[in-house]
């Protein structure tokens, strides 16, 4: 058994940020919001004035791991509503001129390596995607959403059965949001 007071984690909520704890934990400020479901059978998450408290019902190593994971998620949510996370993806085309456009909630890549069928990538909710020349900028208050969209873009132009040193065309993540 682990000592009880070391497992209890408290996160101070900064001014201007509102946190609601229910089935979903919602973190908002005047411009952005992030909503996430953080549940575990042996953990209790509560809000007390300007603090979020994560407490275990049972004190074991497993609860310690989950508590630290939840604390990281909550800190990322709070940081994201204060200043959104930004990823940059570069459009690289040397063999064939490819066209990258947005249609609704999809990114369309046409003429990738001369292919006739366009490649598509999903754009998730709660994110802003801008295409400026050969640079795609993804901003979102949710770190996981921004990273997943950038990964979707990069995976949409994945090449198989070709030499990666020669065929370097595609969409490549050039800047990740760091903590």
List, in sequence order, every beta strand (DSSP E) within the chain.
9-12, 18-21, 25-28, 33-36, 43-48, 51-56, 85-92, 99-103, 106-110, 119-122, 128-132, 135-140, 170-175
Q: End of a domain among 39, 56, 82?
A: 82
Q: Looking at residue 179, what is its pLDDT? A: 59
Domain identity same for 68 and 90 = no
Q: Where residue 26 sits, what CATH number does that domain have?
A: 3.90.930.12
Tokens 């040193």, located at residue: 165
Domain identity same for 121 and 158 = yes
Domain identity same for 25 and 74 = yes
Domain identity same for 54 and 92 = no
User: Rounded to 5 degrees, what are φ and ψ at 83?
Assistant: -145, 115
The boundaries of the domain holding residue 65 are: 4-82
This prediction's pTM: 0.89
Taking the C-alpha atoms of residue 107 and residue 2, their distance in angstroms, rounded to an integer, is 49
Domain identity same for 102 and 148 = yes
> Along the 179 residues of the chain, how does pLDDT read in single tens digits?
555 556 789 999 999 999 999 989 999 999 999 999 999 999 999 999 899 999 999 888 999 999 999 999 999 999 999 999 999 999 999 878 999 999 999 999 999 989 999 999 999 999 999 999 999 999 999 999 999 999 999 999 998 898 888 888 999 999 998 75
Domain identity same for 99 and 75 = no
For the chain, how many structural domains are there in total? 2
Q: End of a domain among 82, 99, 128?
A: 82
Q: End of a domain among 51, 82, 113?
A: 82
């Amino acid at each position: 058994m682990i000592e009880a007071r070391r497992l209890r984690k408290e996160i101070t909520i900064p001014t201007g940020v509102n946190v609601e704890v229910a089935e979903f934990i919602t973190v908002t400020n005047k411009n952005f919001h992030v909503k996430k479901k953080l549940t575990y059978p042996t953990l209790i998450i509560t809000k007390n004035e300007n603090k979020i408290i994560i407490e275990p019902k049972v004190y074991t190593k497993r609860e310690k791991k989950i508590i630290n994971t939840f604390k990281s998620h909550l800190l990322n949510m709070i940081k994201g509503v204060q200043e959104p996370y930004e990823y940059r993806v570069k459009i690289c085309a040397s063999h064939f001129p490819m066209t990258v456009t947005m249609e609704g909630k999809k990114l369309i890549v046409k003429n990738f390596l001369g292919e006739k069928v366009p490649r598509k990538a999903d754009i998730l909710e709660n994110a802003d995607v801008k295409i400026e020349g050969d640079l795609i900028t993804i901003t979102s208050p949710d770190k996981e959403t921004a990273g997943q969209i950038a990964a979707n873009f990069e995976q949409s132009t994945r090449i198989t059965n070709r030499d990666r040193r020669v065929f370097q065309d595609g969409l490549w993540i050039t800047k990740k949001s760091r903590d």
